[in-house]
Amino acid sequence: MTYAGPAAADAPGTRTGGVPHVPADFTWPLCAECDGPMQFVAQVSLADAGLLSIFMCQNDPGLCEEWDATAGGNHAYVFGADAVHFPVPPADDGVTALDETCAVDYEELPTGDYLDAADDWHKRTGRPKREVLGQIGGRPLWLQSDETPVCDGCNRPMAFVVQLEEGHNHRTSANFGGGGCGYAFHCAPCSTAAFLWQC
Ligand SMILES: [Zn+2]
Ligand SMILES: [Zn+2]
């Protein structure tokens, strides 16, 4: 995934930032630690036509265990084709959006790992490595140990969906601890999702 320029805040499909597409009955997630509204980070189109949506708390960065898949400082959803509505974030002074909405380009990777591919892309295009926004599919490149989450519904390891870099511009990027990566997973049979980050 590479940076493809600014996108409209309501652009369909995969993007970082902006306003999430949600089902009609959606309620904006609140942080289990600080009770504040979460920040919408990204949505990713799934191969089977759903949408994976990632939120995490940024009201007290570093204090809400927002890196953890189960502590309640972040939340990931799998939405179906009914995710066409735009929610109104709670009228609260919490941090609910990134400062920029980014479109995403894709390039299919040959065999070889994500890091090599990012290096190759940088050399080939002359564009900054910071414009690599992550990878969809394949295998996660863990910065720490493997933390593949287990599904709440069926107790099986969840399937890897996307690895996200913080963003192309440090002033508008997501906060994964400063140079970290986010990882999102889903369980298709249970329609569950999970998110965590490492740095
Ligand atoms: Zn919080
Ligand atoms: Zn499951």
Output the pLDDT for position 3. 98
CA–CA separation, 13 and 15 (whole Å) = 6
CATH classification at residue 126: 2.30.320.10
Residue 56 alpha carbon to ligand 1 centre in Å: 8
> Which ligand places an atom closest to the C-alpha of 63?
1
Identify the three-state secondary structure at position 48: coil
Q: Model confidence at 143, in pLDDT bands (50, 70, 90)?
A: very high
Number of domains into which the chain is organized: 1
Residue pLDDT, tens place only, 34-72: 999 999 999 999 988 799 999 999 999 999 999 999 999
Residue 66 alpha carbon to ligand 1 centre in Å: 7
Residue 164 alpha carbon to ligand 1 centre in Å: 21
Nearest CA to 58 out of 34, 78, 90, 27 is that of: 34
Span 83-110, mean pLDDT?
A: 91
> Which ligand places an atom closest to the C-alpha of 159?
2
Amino acid at 106: Y
Residue 72 alpha carbon to ligand 2 centre in Å: 18
Residue 34 alpha carbon to ligand 1 centre in Å: 4
Q: Model confidence at 92, in pLDDT bands (50, 70, 90)?
A: confident
Q: How many C-beta atoms lie closer than 10 Å to residue 116's C-beta?
A: 12
Residue 23 alpha carbon to ligand 1 centre in Å: 24
Residue 95 alpha carbon to ligand 1 centre in Å: 10
Identify the three-state secondary structure at position 116: helix
Residue 89 alpha carbon to ligand 1 centre in Å: 15
Looking at residue 150, what DSSP letter applies? B
Q: Write out the residue range of the structural domain in which residue 53 sits.
A: 2-198
